[in-house]
Amino acid sequence: MADVIDTAAGDTAGLDPPTPCRVLLLEDSGIDADLVREHLLMIDDHAFDVHRVETRQAFIEAVTGGGPFDLILSDFDLPDFDGMSALAIARDRLPRVPFIFVSGMLGEENAIEALKKGATDYVVKLRMERLQVVVRRALIEARDRNELTDKRAALAESEARLRFALEAGRLGSWELTLATNRLRVSSICAANLGLADPAEIPTYERLLEHVHPDDREHQKAMVRQAVGSGSPLDMEYRTIWPDGSVHWVQVRGRAVYDKDGTATGLAGVSLNITDRKKAEERQLLLLEELNHRVKNTLAMVQSIAKQTLRAAPSVEAFPDAFQSRLRALAQAHDLLTRRHWQGASLSEIAALTLEPHVHAGRVKVGGPPVNLTTGVAVSLHLAFHELATNAAKYGALSAENGRVDLDWEIVRPGQTLVRDGMSQIGSGQIGGRSDRGGALVLRWRESGGPPVVPPTRRGFGSRLIERGLAHELEGDVALAFETAGVRCRLVIPLSSRVSPQ
């Protein structure tokens, strides 16, 4: 059996409306319930809404689904229930709600045991006037306690969000106490210095031991400036990890002041910016490399234009020849761009120039894998382009049965060159500038084309191969206009620019 007793505010004359308070009353006696109601009416700053229950089941249902309640009042002894069991249920389900016994049973032992179990207070019915004071105090304490709990929960949630944000941003937090130079750092902050345990840097002096010697004075000066002027601390410096590696850290923070305006400490965050610094170095290097390549490309275009114009039989023939060579240069740049300007293989360069003729079965290309740097790759592509263009116009590729063989080999010091009908270097062995570390030997041989008539003067292609290529690659070049077909041999010293795979 349960009933609801609605009560109005005791005093409406005040400026502030009474605070609503919903009460769960566990009491089997109607007379005692009315007595409790009368005493609650005497508390003039609250408006009580009392929900009365008499049985265990009704109490459990009220606690489970009938709330929220601001106060629980309970008799100590009930026919099918007892107050201590009700207290246990309430502390489990509603731990923040004050629980006050209003009992007809005397005895300090009962009161002490109830308080030990979590009761807020114990009021004897014979002294019911205490109920007003006890309820008022319990509600005020509960309000303050709940506000504090809510603030702590909000603070914990805020700190959790801050930790999540710091961890997501890989930011470490730190606090420096100026009076003692004590330093408190987070795990991420310690990791930014290559340390696994934050306790390894308990002081500012220990931190400085991990700062690069060349950056320590700058670091200390920035800290002094932030403390003295109140300006934000924002600096980057190098750190030395326990393994000896050098890393970069960015630190930001502000000074902390007491009520008198005296700086008491510094607090802020740190970030490992090593990857960013390396990226900046790579970007600067790429810009310098790009500037160098642009200059070289412009110089090459200027040289091609000048030499093409000099070798052109007429002004009308110049545009086609010049555009053809520019396309060859652009093709080489496209290939190197796809390779991120990390060079190319000799096979790629040969295929780039001769692919149309290879697919037609007119050209045979072969040789071991060889890596070329960007400059060598561009020079060889231009040389192959000139040889292929000459063969297509006047040589083997201009005839139906003409063929071109392009092959290469790696020749070690002291190894005899394969006889190809051309004049040998030295006594048939690698000599001159290519005798120390071996050489790459390339051979271009044409056959099946019209008889070759040696030119009366050297054109751009011949000068590019015989002079420019020899100078650029520091190698030896032999170009022969034999009646059976043009032959060319290049001997290029092996180095970091030309290396077998």
Sheet of strand 439-447, all strands in order from the earlier edge strand to the far edge = 363-366, 403-411, 439-447, 485-493, 476-482
> What is the mean pLDDT of the segment spanning 434-445?
80
pLDDT value of residue 337: 66
Please report, rounded to a whole number, the percentage of residues in the chain having pLDDT higher than 90.
23
Residue 424 in this model has a pLDDT that exceeds 60? no
Q: Are 439 and 414 in contact (CB under 8 A)?
A: no
Separation CA 150–CA 154 (nearest Å): 6
| CA pair distance 419, 425, nearest whole angstrom | 11
Domain limits of the chain?
Answer: 2-148, 169-272, 343-500
Residues making up the chain, counted from first to last: 501
Question: Which residues, at least 6 apart from 189, have a Cβ–Cβ distance to it below 8 Å?
Answer: 172, 173, 174, 198, 269, 270
pLDDT in tens, 5-33: 444 444 444 456 888 889 999 998 899 99
Question: How far is residue 416's CA from residue 434's CA, in Å, rounded to a whole number?
Answer: 13
| Residue scoring higher pLDDT (4 or 161) | 161
Distances from the Cα of 141 to the Cαs of 71, 318, 482, in angstroms? 12, 100, 112
Cβ-Cβ contacts under 8 Å for 459 (sequence gap 6 or more): 311
Please tell me the CATH superfamily of domain 2-148, with its number: Response regulator (3.40.50.2300)
Average pLDDT over residues 102-123: 84
pTM of whole model > 0.85? Answer: no
pLDDT at 224 over 50: yes
Is the predicted pLDDT of residue 117 greater than 60, yes or no?
yes
Compute how many other C-beta atoms are within 10 angstroms of the C-beta atom of residue 88.
13
Q: Which fold has domain 169-272?
A: Beta-Lactamase (3.30.450)
Q: What is the pLDDT of residues 358-399, one digit of tens each?
A: 666 788 888 999 998 888 888 888 888 888 888 888 888 888
Q: How confident is the model at residue 467 (pLDDT cuts 50, 70, 90)?
A: confident
CATH superfamily of 343-500: Histidine kinase-like ATPase, C-terminal domain (3.30.565.10)
pLDDT score of 414 more than 60 = yes
Our CA dihedral for 336, 341, 342, 347, rounded to 10 degrees, sits at: 10
pLDDT digits (tens, 9 = 90+) for 156-212: 676 666 666 556 666 888 899 999 999 998 888 898 889 989 999 999 999 999 999
What is the helix (H) or strand (E) element at residue 289, kind and residue range?
A: helix 274-311
Average pLDDT, stretch 278-298?
Answer: 71
- Facing residues of 98 across strands? none
Q: Picking from 23-32, 317-326, 429-438, which range would have the lowest pLDDT averaged per residue? A: 429-438
More confident residue, 61 or 386: 61
Which distant-in-sequence residues (6+ apart) come within 8 Å of 314 by Cβ?
Answer: none
Q: Are 48 and 21 in contact (CB under 8 A)?
A: yes
- pLDDT tens, residue by residue, 249-260: 999 988 988 888
DSSP-based three-state secondary structure for 209: helix
Residue-wise pLDDT tens digits, 67-87: 689 999 999 888 888 889 999
Do residues 379 and 467 touch, judged by C-beta distance below 8 A? Answer: no
